[in-house]
Structure 1
Amino acid sequence: MTATSEGAAPATRLLDGIAGPADLRAMSPPELGLLADEIRGFLVDTVSRTGGHLGPNLGVVELTIALHRAVDSPADTLVFDTGHQTYVHKLLTGRREGFATLRRSGGLSGYPSRSESPHDLMENSHASTALSYADGLAKAAALRDHGGRVVAVVGDGALTGGMSWEAVNNIGAAPERPVVVVLNDNGRSYAPTVGGIARHLADLRARRPSGPGAARANVFTDFGLAYIGPVDGHDIAATEEALHAALELARPVVVHCVTRKGNGHPPAELDLDDHMHTVRAGSAAGRPAAPAGPAGSAEPTWTSVFAEEIAAIGAERDDIVCLGAAMTGPAGLGPFARRFPGRVFDVGIAEQHAVGSAAGLALGGLHPVVAIYATFLNRALDQVLMDVALHRLPVTFVLDRAGITGPDGPSHHGVWDASILPVVPGLRLAAPRDRARLRELLREAVAVVDGPTALRYPKAGAALDIPALRRTGRCDLLREETGARVLLVAVGPMAGACLGAADELAAAGVPATVADPRWIAPLDPALLALARAHRLVLAVEDTTSTGALGARLSQALADEGAHTRVAALGLPPRFLPQGARDRLLSGYGLDAEGIAAAVLHRLARLHRG
């Protein structure tokens, strides 16, 4: 149970004395139990105010304490998979003061961060990678005769990703290279863990505990790893004892720790959907704030609009099926799944398999819709190319969290898909500007029968509908002025900012046309014609500018010998920091004022030239 009641500040007498892991080793068992209560109370109090991953961290309090008593970090290497379960690790490695700024601009990262601490070696926020890191680290230690030990803390959900098993295949084949795999098994990633691995772990949890000398076969021992467990991950002494036994084996070994997501905080324990996997900033005592969307008090989100429309399409067409990768709810497939449970497939944290399986579904005569975060589609690019596009299969990718995402930071901003996907032969890529266009473009996408389609939209409130003056080709003209020399190409949700910029430019005596291409790949001949009719074209995009629409439009016009100057106003080609979406966009000049200033600056250069 947490050490605080709602509205009361948590007691942190013991936590106040923790400057680093070494301070844990002098504490008595009763003190360790009190420390766990203090940490849990601190997390509930702090994360409720800042927002963040509460449930996963409440589940690893005792496990992390035991880990830092048994392992000598940073001399020994700790890698977490995924990194959202490292809040307790951060508290025990001297970063308590930073929690007031958790996930805020310039503040403490919600994931491991190499710039924060030597205790964070990998910035691990995409799942199923830690075991590959561990394998490479163990190989490096053997080659360089380094004495440090390698410990990977792996959530059971990460084992649904094939990359984990590619690593296990290598780790188990080298008994001379010790890697300790701490399996944090709480039966779920975001949602419940799925598939045969989930069933196998449930079977292991039901067995009596066994040590490394027991001759009890399981999937890990079949791969060549020793196995210890299952261990109660909320029992500090038992977990620490198991970890010491594993380290003494000096060979690859799995320590199977059973934990409960949200443990010790009743609201999280009673939240059966996801045990407060994340809470929003300002939630009371860890209770999630009312969600944005039709059922909440705020405007609909892009995700909720997609959720309604795909369910409506599913009612009209029985060939529509949907796939998700352990995030079916957050990606908007909840309403579809409730109406058509047999037509939704959650494949676990396995994006490559999701796309490959979608190819098989399409070959079987269905139209799969893969709903996935934009940043995670990067992991399945080969499957998009060789399994879907090469076969000209009708698969629709719905890319949530495209562009600036917000507090999850550099690993979660979806800023690469609009540069990568246009190189895929035959793929059509759309970016809706508002709610009506999302519904319209989704229906256009699932009507395509001769190749893949994709839609991208951000994590934000969906913009109010912006009517078009007229349509030319696939493009919507949103503003036309007589004598306009400037064309603003407003990509997706940048339409509102571009219209605002056009107002500012008109006040400065610079008339501008504003066009929404709707489909941003391949290039629409009508968009090229519009561009040729203007002296300056500025493509405004919530994505990295390298290789995106502006760059492709510039190349196409240059190839034609056109005299139009084309510039791209997008995000810089680097990993971007965490922070509020609107503030980051404004900081990179992607607001009305910044867009207008960019146009005036470029016009001045044209005049000087």
Structure 2
Amino acid sequence: MASYLYQIQSPTDLKKLNINEKYLLAEEIREFLLEKVSKTGGHLASNLGVVELTVALHSSFNTFHDKVVWDVGHQCYVHKMLTGRRDDFDSLRQYGGLSGFPKCHESIHDHFNTGHSATSLSAALGMATARDLKKDCYHVAAIIGDGALTGGMAFEALNHAGQSGTDFTVILNDNEMSIAENVGGLSNYLTRIRSFPVYSRLKEDLESFIGNFPVLGKSVYRTAEKAKDSIKYFFVPGVLFEELGFTYIGPIDGHSIEDVTEALNLAKRIKGPKVVHVLTVKGKGYHMAEKYPAKFHGIGSFDVITGKKHKPSVRDFSSVAGKALEKLAEKDERVMAITAAMPDGTGLNDFKDRYPNRLFDVGIAEQHAVTFAAGQAAAGLRPFFAVYSSFLQRAYDQLIHDVALQNLPVTFLVDRAGLVGNDGETHHGVFDISCLSAVPGLTIMSPSDENELTAMIQHTMTLDGPSLIRYPRGEAFKLSSECTPIKTGKGIVLEEYGYDFIIIALGSLNRIGLEILEDAKELGILGTLIDPRFVKPLDQELLLEYGKLSETIIVMEENQKIGGLGSLIQHTFNEHDLMKRVSIFALPDRFTEQGDMKSLYEQAGLSSKEIIHYIKHTYHKKCTKIVSIKQDERITHEKKAY
């Protein structure tokens, strides 16, 4: 059989295929996706669901000229195949390789960098208004899933677009899923639309009927309009999109290339904002992904036949946090868990099963989640919001204004803090310390292992104000069999061999810190390792005590160097007239790319090898200086004696 996929070097080649050849192409794309993603890992189910939609998109639009914005962007793999990047898929999400999200630097067909949800409509509307102001001529489209449509920013854009009348197309990819099962009123609304696809056909027939009248009197026309509206309100409760000012087209079978292409071509002919409502199946064409779409949303390498991961699942920090929260909930009925469409990713599935009335999944709406938690806390509950660090960025104002300003006891369980590997720039959780350490009254903790994480979650119940615990992605581990009691603002000394150097390592980096101490000891260089535990309030007493013992102070953290823990420690030393040079090993002032953790640590200078090299160089330089001083003293003494 001829390979259509390998004939396509750009969307121009796709347009040469007939409809039957496009369906054969779709089959090849799914085979290619399974082959490549099963080896590299990545977002599978979402991409399997948009194969025909993407083929139709490039059959209708000309992305050399037209602007297309993918919301979130994790479903752009098919788009990348059809725009000249098929041969790069062996490097998908690898260090220096093909990104799993749209990147303008990769291709002229990627028109906007994305990675977080609910951004596409605002960006596309901005492009469309720029086009009109510059009097250019091209189409603009945004592809957004029904899960991402729950984001408040999407509604802000819909409201703006509807009243502005700007000509652009919203392609609503409705698969009844975000990552987890969709929740909320909007999901129910879209389900009702799915149930009445006959509405669109009846509406078109009625409009055609009205249009066939010769010259209608105003009263007859108004009656016909009312009749049309009555059908609209009867069949689709709320008619959200049309009431906002959009022309609604759909629902369309998203796996029919010809139907989707026809709908998109129709949308291009209609002026003003349009919604093309496309129904798809997440994981389409691979039975395991269709059955378990959440499991195959983002997955590591796996066996295509069995669906099993090549690396077995391990106990991770997310599940440790979830289990600790369950134990708290057993003892205290005030404990509530909140998630923004991520119960699985944040380890809350068991909590959800056990306490269904105390787990609140608010959908992809982090801003709402924070203020919702504030409301619960103000009414006497103890809410815990489990959220990825990079997603909490979206609710910065709510954390300050609605939680911290009122000193409410909301706890933020900040998952994926630090580097996250292959998801890259949009998902690394490396800004939270810099952003949040300036917030008055916010207690910030970072556990070195799973025992400390559990203890810190328990400790938050003793606090009267807001608190935040940041912990990494990946396999949980224990540095010791038990954890010394947690005291607010107090760190601990993990190991003390000597004072040639002092390492202050934040969170899970203490594991690397212990390796460095042992490696340095073999070289005859003796150091001490401090686990600060608290970023805020800092244990100033401990830091000043040990800061006076050595000239070599090293801070290790998975946060941006600017405004991180190292900056706070340097400020503390300066305030107390302790003039020490603090060597900060953190992330440089640029966005860190994707890659395996080993490569990223090496790039940032956070590997034990890099820091041992620094210690050896510094120590030998210091020793040389001491020898030189002693030689100078001996010569001076000999001259005086002479």
In the aligned structure 2, how far is the partner of 1:285 from the partner of 1:173? 50
Deviations 1:468-493 (A, max 9, x none): 998897111111134x1421101111
Identify the residue that residue 179 of structure 2 maps to in structure 1: 190
Q: How does 1:118-129 map to 2 (within 5 A)?
A: 118-129=108-119
Which stretch of the first structure deviates more once superposed, 282-291 or 239-248? 282-291
Cα distance in structure 2, aligned partners of 1:489 and 1:577: 26
Of 479, 484, 502, the match for 2:495: 479
Q: Which runs of 5+ in 2 are unaligned?
A: 208-227, 234-238, 627-642
Moved more, 105-114 or 583-592: 583-592
Alpha-carbon separation, structure 1, partners of 2:579 and 2:415: 37
Figure out how many residues of one structure are paired with residues of the other and give that number: 590
SS of structure 2 residue aligned to 1:599: helix
Contact 2:602/2:610 (<8 A) preserved: yes
459, 465, 485: which one aligns with 2:479? 465
Gaps of 5+ in 1: 1-10
Q: Distance in 2 between matches of 1:387 and 1:598?
A: 44
Cα shift at 1:193: 1.6
Of 459-468 and 392-401, deviating more is: 459-468
Pairwise CA distance, 1:48: 1.1
The equivalent residue for 1:269 is 290
* Correspondent of 2:532 among 511, 517, 525: 517
Cα distance in 1 for partners of 2:102, 2:250 equals: 27
Aligned partner letter, 1:137: M
The match for 2:268 among 238, 243, 247 is 247
Partner of residue 602, structure 2:
586
Asked if structure 1 preserves the Cα contact closer than 8 Å seen for 2:451 and 2:483, the reply is no
SS of equivalent residue, structure 2 residue 535: strand
- Answer yes or no: is 1:168 the counterpart of 2:158: yes
More deviation in 563-572 or 225-234? 563-572
Change (3 A) 1:54 1:599: same
Match of 2:342, SS?
Answer: coil
Given the alignment, which residue of 141, 148, 167 partners 2:138? 148
Deviation at 1:209? Answer: 4.9
Is 1:345 matched with 2:360? Answer: yes
Choose 499-508 or 316-325, whichever is displaced more. Answer: 499-508
Q: Secondary structure at the match of 1:306?
A: helix
Q: CA deviation at 1:349?
A: 0.7
The equivalent residue for 1:205 is 194
RMSD of aligned alpha carbons: 2.0
| CA–CA distance in structure 2, aligned partners of residues 608 and 375 of structure 1 | 45
After TM superposition, the structure 1 = structure 2 runs for residues 121-140 of structure 1, keeping only pairs within 5 Å, are 121-140=111-130
Shift of 1:286: 7.5
User: Is the 2:479–2:511 Cα contact (8 Å) retained in structure 1?
Assistant: no
Is residue 238 of structure 1 aligned with residue 254 of structure 2?
no
Question: Is structure 2 residue 89 aligned with structure 1 residue 89?
Answer: no
1:556 and 2:572 are equivalent in the alignment: yes
- Aligned residue for 1:550, secondary structure, equals helix
* Deviation for aligned residue 1:599: 3.0
Conserved 8 A contact 2:319-2:348? no
* Match of residue 88, structure 2, among 80, 98, 102: 98
Does the Cα contact within 8 Å between 1:279 and 1:288 map onto a contact in 2?
no
Task: Give 1:287 shift.
Answer: 1.5
Distance across 1 between alignment mates of 2:484 and 2:495: 9
Aligned to 1:76: 66
Report the Cα offset of residue 584 of structure 1: 1.2
More off after superposition, 370-379 vs 17-26: 17-26
Q: Secondary structure at the match of 2:555?
A: strand
* Residue 38 of structure 1: how far off its partner (Å): 1.0
1:423-482 CA-to-partner distances (Å, cap 9, x unmatched) read 111111111111111111111123312x11111111111122336998897111111134
Q: Equivalents in 2 of 1:316, 1:186: separation in Å? A: 39
Provide the rounded CA distance (Å) in 2 between the counterparts of 1:478 and 1:93.
53
Deviation string, structure 1 residues 240-273 (Cα, Å, up to 9, x no partner):
11111101002100000011101111111222x6
Task: Compare CA radii of gyration and give the structure with the larger one.
Answer: 2
Residue in 2 that maps onto 1:327: 342
- What does 1:248-327 correspond to in 2, within 5 Å? 248-271=269-292, 274=294, 276-285=296-305, 287-289=307-309, 296=313, 298=314, 300-327=315-342
Asked if structure 2 preserves the Cα contact closer than 8 Å seen for 1:468 and 1:476, the reply is no
The alignment's TM-score, normalised by the length of structure 1, stands at 0.93
- Cα deviation for residue 136 of structure 1 reads 0.6
Q: Is the 8 A contact 1:375 1:414 kept in 2?
A: yes
For residues 390-430 of structure 1, give each alpha carbon's deviation from its aligned partner in whole angstroms, at most 9, with x where no partner exists. 00000111111111101101100111112211111111111
The corresponding residue for 2:225 is none
Aligned to 2:462: 447
Partner of 1:220: 241
Identical columns (%): 39
Partners of 2:69 and 2:2 lie apart in 1 by 27
Deviations 1:111-160 (A, max 9, x none): 10112110001111100000000111011001111111110011111111
Alpha-carbon separation, structure 1, partners of 2:573 and 2:608: 26
Residue in structure 2 matching 1:572, options 588, 601, 607: 588
Please report the TM-score for the alignment, with normalisation by the length of structure 2.
0.88
- What's the counterpart of residue 34 of structure 1? 24
Q: Match for 1:153: what amino acid? A: I
Q: Which has the higher helix share?
A: 2
Deviation of 1:291 after TM superposition, in Å, equals: 7.3
CA distance in 2, matches of 1:469, 1:320: 23
